[in-house]
Structures are given as C-alpha cells and as structure tokens.
Amino acid sequence: MSKKNFDIYLDLCSTKLSIAAFKKFSGHSTFFKEYNCATNLNKDQLNFENAEKTIEKNIFEIEKKTGEFLNDIYLMVETPESISINLSLIKDNEGKKIEKKNVQYLIQDAKQQILRSYYNKKIIHIIVNNYVIDDVVYNYLPMNITCKKFSLDMQFICFPNNLVKKLEELFNNHQIFINKIICTNYAKSFIEKESCTNICEYGLKLIQGVNKQEVVIVPRKLEKKGFFERLFHFFK
C-alpha cells in the first residue's frame, strides 16, 4: 500500500462536525469544513445518526480534495462525559540512578490502578504533570540523576467505554480506522487559541507532541522502539 500524503482530523461535538486535511510532515491545512450536526454525546443517550449521515455525504468530497481514500482518521470528541483523574505514585530508589524502566513501571502501575477502579472507562490521555525527586519538583525528567525516592504526579483523561465503542462502530461501518481519539476540551485547554486557525489544529498540535508531558503509548507492531518512547524523547 502506498504511503499517504494527508492526515485527516475530524472533530465531533454536540452541535457541529468539523473535518480537516493536513499535509503530512508540514502540517499545512489543505481542506477544512464545518457542518451543523446535532449529536448526543451523553453516555446514556448516544445518538450518532446525524453525524453518520454527514460523514457519508462528505467522504467523497474529502477523497476528491486529497486524492486519497479516506480509511483512517484522528478523531476529536467534545463530550460532557469526559473525566480527569489525578494519581500520584512513589518509588523508593535507594540512591540509585533513575532508569527509564522505573518510570515505565510507575506509569503502567498507575494505568492498571485506574483501569481497575474505573472499569467502565477508557483512558484517552496520560499526562505526567510533575516528577518529584527527593522532594524537588520538576516538570521534566532529568537525565542521570540519583535519588532516594521519586514520584510521578499523573493525570488520566478518560471517556466512557460505551462512547468509545459506539464511535469505533460508527467509523468501522465505513471502513475507517481511528488512529487516536483526542479529548477536544483537553486539547483546547493546553494550546493557545491564537495559534490555531480551526478546531482541528488543536488535535494536530497535540499529536505533533506540543505537550511534552503527555505519555504516548505506541503499539509495538507500529513502532519497534516499544511503549512510552515519546515520553523519553523529552529527558533533559
């Protein structure tokens, strides 16, 4: 299969559906459209009928503009059902140097705790807000530092499982794979409004790594370097 030249972002909220096409690597926007589209994103009253009709009507236009089949997207969702969970975990380090695997372990441990306690939720974003190393707070992970103990202050942004499942079904019905679900409110809260010309750019900037504290889990089949590689690009 030939490599694609465009990334497609779709933003879904209760009143509108927005679609944008960005050139890979440059991030230049070549297509953007906004449609009035009433959608119920409450977990107990999910209704994607209008969204599905809008997508069906505009798939061909997007494919015509990009010259590529629309078979995968980055999906931004603004829903009142998103929740943010804060969790801190500490590890005794016995004066040793902090290793990547130690940080990975804490993140994985925290993730499993969230999944056990909030079994009906899907983790959408993981953010490490602070690294507390021997009671000194950093917003990055210093390289080659030794300590007696360290902890991570983490934030987990989650959606209801049934919302995620219904979204996946909606796009699977049109043979469209969701590369990543993005919480629109989180993207908007982190990125300055003046730096974006349309709503989909918020998602693009987040995927490009503008928040260096976000942990990106890369499936091994897509990235040989393995899990949490994005996090460790930002050691200082």
The reply to whether 41 falls in a domain is yes
Q: Total structural domains in the chain?
A: 2
153 and 166 assigned to the same domain:
no
Per-residue model confidence (pLDDT) at position 84: 96
The pLDDT profile of the chain, 236 residues, written as one tens digit per residue, is 458 899 999 999 888 899 999 999 888 888 899 988 877 777 666 777 888 888 888 899 899 999 999 999 999 999 989 999 999 999 999 999 998 889 989 999 999 999 999 999 999 999 999 999 999 999 988 888 999 999 999 999 999 999 999 999 999 999 999 999 999 999 988 777 667 888 999 999 999 888 889 987 655 444 444 444 445 444 43
Per-residue model confidence (pLDDT) at position 234: 41
* Reduced 3-state DSSP string for the chain: CCCCCEEEEEEECCCEEEEEEEECCCCCEEEEEEEECCCECCCCCCECHHHHHHHHHHHHHHHHHHCCCCCEEEEEECCCCCEEEEEEEEEEEEEEECCHHHHHHHHHHHHHHHHHHCCCEEEEEEEEEEEEECCEEECCCCCCCEEEEEEEEEEEEEEEHHHHHHHHHHHHCCCCEEEEEEEHHHHHHHCCHHHCCCHHHHHHHHHCCCCCCEECCCCCCCCCCCCCHHHHCCCC
87 and 155 assigned to the same domain:
yes
76 and 92 assigned to the same domain:
no
Per-residue model confidence (pLDDT) at position 94: 94
72 and 88 assigned to the same domain:
no
Per-residue model confidence (pLDDT) at position 227: 45
What CATH number is associated with residue 73? 3.30.420.40
28 and 130 assigned to the same domain:
no
Domain range for 136: 83-159
Whether the full predicted model's pTM is greater than 0.85, yes or no, is: yes
45 and 66 assigned to the same domain:
yes
Per-residue model confidence (pLDDT) at position 100: 86
71 and 172 assigned to the same domain:
yes
What CATH number is associated with residue 104? 3.30.1490.110
